[in-house]
Structure formats: C-alpha cells, structure tokens
Amino acid sequence: MYTNMTNSSLRAAITVPSLRQRKTDAAKIAVLTCYDASFAAHFDAAGIDAVLVGDSLGMVIQGQASTLPVTLDHMVYHTAAVSRGLHAPLLIADMPFMSYRDVPTALASASRLLAEGGAAMVKVEGAGWVLDVITALSERDVPVCAHLGLTPQSVHKLGGYRVQGKLADEAKRLLDDSHAVAKAGAELLVLECVPAELAARITGEIPIPTIGIGAGPGCDGQVLVLYDMLGITPGRRPRFSKDFLRGHDSIDAALTAYVEAVHSSTFPAPEHTY
C-alpha cells in the first residue's frame, strides 16, 4: 500500500460516524475530488476530511463532454489508485451512469467499488426509484452518499447544467427528496447548484450531513472539483468555484487554504452562491 510519511499519518481516520458527529458539533467538512494516488497523498497531508472519486473524471481527465461515458471499470481503477495515497480521509466513490439502474446491478457495482477500489462509501444521484437502491445498499452495510439538485447524470433530462430548486414546486420536491434519501438510509447528501436559502433549510431539517457545491455556506461541508479549485480546468470556471492556487506558491498551500476556508466558513462567499 502507498505509504504517506507525513504528519497526516498522525490524524485519526475519518469514519462515517465521525462525519455525522461533525454535523452535531457544527464542525464543517472539507471535501475535494481526486483521481490518483499522488494528489491523494497531498490531500491527506492538507487535512482534507473526505475525498470523492467523482465521475467528473470523464470531463476533467478524459476530456468527455459529460460524465455519461464513464464506466464502472474506470471508477474502480481510479478509486483504487486514490485509496493507495490516503490514510485519514474518508474515501467516497461515484457510481457511474447506469451502474445502479436496479438493485441487483447496484449491489454488484458497489461491491466492486468497496472490495476492489477500497472505497468506504458510494454516491448515487437522485431520489424516486433510487430510494430502493439506497435502502438495499444501506441494509447491507454499504454507506451511501446521496446527490440531489443538479445531478450531472441527468443532464439531458434537465436540459443542461442549471440551478435547481428556484421555483416553489422544485424547492418543495428537493426538500421532500432530501428527507426521503435520509429516511432510506443515506449517510451523506451532496446538494449541487441549489439556492443557498433552500440548502440551509434542508441542512437544518435532515439528520445527515449535507455537502454543498454551489449551494451556499449553510451546508455542513463543501466539495469542489480539484481542477476547478486549482484553476486549471480549461474554459470558463463554474461560478461556485474558487481558484485557491492564485496567491499561493504551491499546490500544498492551495489545498491547506481550501481546508481552512471551509472549516472557518469563509468559503463559499456570496459571489460563489445562488
């Protein structure tokens, strides 16, 4: 296994129960996406709380137009690579498009991500029929992170990458779905591109931690795509992102600045919210 000989080895490992305790203690959770062992080791040293191997790798690693072409094999490969660089952070792996289309498929996919990839939690998008998947996984002791709001695997149905929950009926559905995924057994909830006021209400009402990305400062934690956070994603950077490398002389300094900004609630600022 990859050995990280830094002070990060002195940190206690972040667990699913300890993330829930963070919510109870009102201690913010800093999350970043990661796709390889080398960056993972730097994340560990910087004090990142949880690492998401996102299917965003389809866009930022593979150069795809969306996350849809990412396969389960891709996710297992990258999750395993990241796991070799980590000690303390909780490792979460995205379940890619159609890898959880029904309960048997979801169980088989999650098994690979945990057993072969080394993940401690899997992430699925949506509610509705996905609730059966969340329940089946959680009943078999597979920790689940739910994902609501802008769900990239549904980009065609949504009509693009747009803020979700601005209209009253959309907001009510998001609030109801948030309660539903928590009741189904999800341990964590990512809220993406959701108005800050709605995200704060959801965070206050459900018992599990919320992780925001473009969902305002009221969430229990924040997540960014690594390449957005370092300012190296080609093209226009999302409004909710911030280039933490600017003003710092190293990637390590940028990572540390991100962790400190999330933990101190100075990120996201008003200009990063909807």
Tokens of 87: 């000690």
The active-site residue out of 139, 187, 192, 271 is 192
Query: Position of tokens 């990120």?
Result: 267
User: Residue 125 catalytic?
Assistant: no
Supply the angle between the helices 168-184 and 130-139 in degrees, to the nearest 10: 20
Type and span of the H or E element at 145: strand 144-149
- Give the span between the Cα atoms of 223 and 122, in whole angstroms: 15
Q: Hey, how many other C-beta atoms are within 10 angstroms of the C-beta on 134?
A: 27
Mapped onto helix, strand or coil, the DSSP state of residue 138 is helix
Bin 88: left if φ > 0, else alpha if -120 < ψ < 50, else beta.
Answer: alpha
> Is the separation of the CB atoms in 98 and 121 below 8 Å?
no
> Is the separation of the CB atoms in 190 and 123 below 8 Å?
yes
Amino acid sitting at position 246: R
Residues paired with 147 in a beta bridge: 125, 190
Query: What are the φ and ψ backbone dihedral angles of 57, each rounded to 5 degrees?
Result: -60, -25
Mapped onto helix, strand or coil, the DSSP state of residue 82 is helix
Amino acid sitting at position 47: G
Catalytic residues, by residue number, are: 192
